A = this chain, B = another copy of it.
Amino acid sequence: MQQTFRLVIDCPDQVGLVAAVSQFLAQHNATIVEANHHTDQQTGRFFMRHEIRADSLPLSLEAFRGEFEPIADRYQMNWRLTDSHQKQKVALLASKESHCLNDLLHRWHTGELHCDIVCIIANHPHLQQFADWHDIPYHWVDFDALGKAQAFSDIEHLLDFYQVNLTVLARFMQILPDNLCQRLAGKAINIHHSFLPSFAGARPYQQAYERGVKLIGATCHYVTPDLDEGPIIEQEVMRISHSDTAEDMVRKGKNCEKQALANGIRYHLEERVIIHQNKTVVFA
């Protein structure tokens, strides 16, 4: 896989901004693989992502950062520059349901998800075998025995220990405490099994069944202290009918969940997502 640097910027929209950045890139002879821009006309905020061939640059990542800083300062940029070869460390949090876990592990195993899955943490022992097969440490955090507070404290220590960059709630059925949500802001992704904002909270398929909707879905979003209210990265839906029971919806919806979650994670890992207020810009 070709090594690239990703330069991701958001800042107040200003004349000369793109010229300054592209001038900088041209001076260093950068070959641009992909470039995306967006201006939010309502808030006047500008968003930009460049993916640059690393071998086209005479600069290291560090040197690039140093030279780019004055431009970033001049335009009051939030920005990041990352190296596609420096894999993010990802922790998967799960419960008993294996479909998202298995799907993510397979995509990771085959190289589609470019990251290091450093551990699986679960509140049940059931999915140990998935971890074993892939030679990934599995940590069963026994919520019943430990109590919620201690259990989450243990999880936090595990995230520290593994120096986790991204925490994925792959149908982890526990609600993260506020302080952990805040700490992981922008670095924790959840899959909710409904097309939010419909059917937030518990048992969304049952809610969907009772309301008699003709479409079900899944929503991949960043975790925030407000349950199921965080910035949405990706959504999938699927047609159903009166002949589908709540159980059929559970089965069918899994396809939506897997795909929305996998796409959301990939976008995040490839630095395609910028959070702005409670929404996302996704350069998919």
Assess the B198–A197 pair: CB atoms within 8 A: yes
Copies in the complex: 4
A80 in the interface (beta carbon within 8 A): no
Assess the B214–A234 pair: CB atoms within 8 A: yes
B-chain residues with CB within 8 Å of residue A17 when the two chains form the complex: 26
How many Å from the CB of A281 to the closest CB on chain B? Answer: 4
B-chain residues with CB within 8 Å of residue A215 when the two chains form the complex: 195, 217, 235, 237
Q: How far is the CA of A197 from the CA of B197 in the complex (A)?
A: 8
A239 in the interface (beta carbon within 8 A): yes
Contact among B19, B198, B278, B279 for A242, CB-based, below 8 A: B279
How many Å from the CB of A194 to the closest CB on chain B? Answer: 9
- Most chain B C-beta atoms within 10 Å of own C-beta, residue among A42, A214, A259, A278: A214
A112-B251, A284-B241 given as contacts; is B15 within 8 A of A29 (CB)? yes
Q: How many A residues touch B, CB cutoff 8 Å?
A: 66
Q: How far is the CA of A140 from the CA of B259 in the complex (A)?
A: 31
Contact among B33, B39, B198, B242 for A282, CB-based, below 8 A: B242
Q: How far is the CA of A215 from the CA of B40 in the complex (A)?
A: 18
B-chain residues with CB within 8 Å of residue A233 when the two chains form the complex: 214
B-chain residues with CB within 8 Å of residue A198 when the two chains form the complex: 195-198
Assess the A259–B255 pair: CB atoms within 8 A: yes
A163 in the interface (beta carbon within 8 A): no
B-chain residues with CB within 8 Å of residue A25 when the two chains form the complex: 18-19
Assess the B195–A243 pair: CB atoms within 8 A: no
How many Å from the CB of A30 to the closest CB on chain B? Answer: 7
B-chain residues with CB within 8 Å of residue A231 when the two chains form the complex: 212
Q: How far is the CA of A34 from the CA of B42 in the complex (A)?
A: 13
Assess the A106–B110 pair: CB atoms within 8 A: no
How many Å from the CB of A164 to the closest CB on chain B? Answer: 25
B-chain residues with CB within 8 Å of residue A232 when the two chains form the complex: 211-214
A38-B242, A38-B243, A195-B195 given as contacts; is B18 within 8 A of A31 (CB)? no
Q: How far is the CA of A20 from the CA of B26 in the complex (A)?
A: 9
How many Å from the CB of A17 to the closest CB on chain B? Answer: 8
How many Å from the CB of A214 to the closest CB on chain B? Answer: 4
How many Å from the CB of A50 to the closest CB on chain B? Answer: 9
How many Å from the CB of A240 to the closest CB on chain B? Answer: 10
Assess the A245–B281 pair: CB atoms within 8 A: no
A217-B215, A232-B214, A280-B242 given as contacts; is B23 within 8 A of A19 (CB)? yes
- What are 14 sample pairs from A and B whose C-beta atoms fall under 8 A apart? A18-B18, A18-B22, A18-B32, A19-B26, A22-B23, A32-B39, A36-B36, A98-B109, A112-B251, A211-B278, A212-B231, A212-B278, A214-B282, A241-B282
